[in-house]
Amino acid sequence: MTRPRQLADTPSLTATVPRQLVHRAAVAETFLTGWRRTGADRFTVSAQWPRAHGLHVSPDWVAYDPLLVVETIRQSGTLVAHAEYEVPLERQFVLNEFRVSTVPGTLALGPLPAEPEVELLFTDVQYRGGHPAAARYTAHVLRGATRVATADVAFACVSGPVYRRLRGGRTPETVTAVPVPPGVPADTVDRALPTDVVLAPTDRPGRWQLRVNTAHPVFFDHPLDHVPGMLLLESARQAVLLETSGKRVPTAYHAVFHRYGELDEPIWIETRDGPGTDVQVVGVQGESTVFACLVGTAGS
């Protein structure tokens, strides 16, 4: 007689955290499964990474992309801000700086979804009106005993009225994105689908137009009145692959976000030489720099 499978023979039961706590509309794009406080301003967040994902898993299902680490860390900080520091859900988060470095060789897919943990330490928490208005946190991402990545993140939280003043009346309903130009070939940026290409060629070497498709289900998981930071980071990733003809792949990002990227004006993505094998990527809109990102690379 066949022995019935016991719960001990199966993976532990897991559910994602409420998607609202990580600013996601889709449960499928919610990667966190829980959290606990481990000390004063210290927390551990658990996550699960899917074995297949249009953006965050390589087309051959061999490795997770470092930007999945970025999104997991972003979600972790947002979750803790709401759940532990009581930032109201209606507050808007403004990302100021994101520095992350991944360890090559630690992002390989296994036979089961990876279940990393993110160790967070919040510092420089600034309060206004009884709620956090800005903070910084460091993060260490672990797969078992293996460190996958380290990060340092700075963000601000603003109320609805302040955000509306910052945006000057722009809302997802009142702003129309510029037409999406034809993109570079998908295989040149290690993408399986043309719809995941975020750069369009121009007549200048090292310069592309950002393709802002507000129908994209990951970058625009919900309606926005501006270009999201993850789309800008993906543009940096793809720009590095194009600049190096795929010979080097991004492993680290140090991004500083200077202003909102507007949907109704073109954004130009440019590459410049960085120190060593790093590549500097800058997003320009009009006469202003939207973001600057120093991308660390490794040989492919």
Tokens 């600049």 belong to 243
Buried b (16+ CB within 10 A) or exposed e, 36-46: eeeeebebbbb
Tell me, yes or no, if the two domains 11-164 and 170-299 fold the same way: yes
| Residues 232, 282: Cα–Cα separation, whole Å | 9
DSSP E strand boundaries for the chain: 32-39, 42-47, 92-102, 117-128, 131-143, 146-158, 199-201, 207-210, 248-257, 268-273, 279-285, 288-299
Per DSSP, the three-state class of 37 is strand
Where exactly are the structural domains of the chain? 11-164, 170-299
Q: CA-to-CA distance for 255 and 211, rounded, in angstroms? A: 19
Instruction: Compute mean pLDDT per 10 residues along the chain, 300 residues long, and list them.
Output: 37 80 96 96 97 93 97 98 95 96 96 97 92 96 97 96 92 95 97 96 97 97 96 98 96 97 97 93 97 95
- Using a 10 angstrom Cβ sphere, with 0-12 exposed, 13-18 middle and 19 or more buried, the burial of residue 208 is buried
Instruction: Name the architecture of domain 11-164.
Output: Roll (3.10)
Q: Are 138 and 150 in contact (CB under 8 A)?
A: yes
Strand order in the sheet with 92-102: 32-39, 42-47, 117-128, 131-143, 146-158, 92-102, 248-257, 288-299, 279-285, 268-273, 207-210, 199-201
Residue the block writes with tokens 């960085």: 274
Q: Which of 70, 93, 69 is nearest to 20 (CA)?
A: 93
How does DSSP classify residue 180? -
pLDDT of residue 2: 34
pTM: 0.93
By C-alpha distance, which of 65, 234, 281, 252 is closest to 152?
252
From the candidate CATH numbers 2.30.30.140, 3.30.70.100, 3.10.129.10, 3.40.50.720, the one assigned to the domain spanning 170-299:
3.10.129.10
Query: Residue 97's pLDDT is what?
Result: 98
Predicted local distance difference test score (pLDDT) of residue 3: 34
The vertex-227 CA angle with 291 and 88, nearest 5°, equals 100
Sign of torsion over alpha carbons 183, 184, 186, 189? negative
Please state, in angstroms and rounded to a whole number, the distance separating the CA atoms of residues 111 and 116: 15
DSSP 191-259: -SSGGG--EEE-SSTTEEEE---TT-TTTTSS--SSB-HHHHHHHHHHHHHHHTTTSEEEEEEEEEE-S
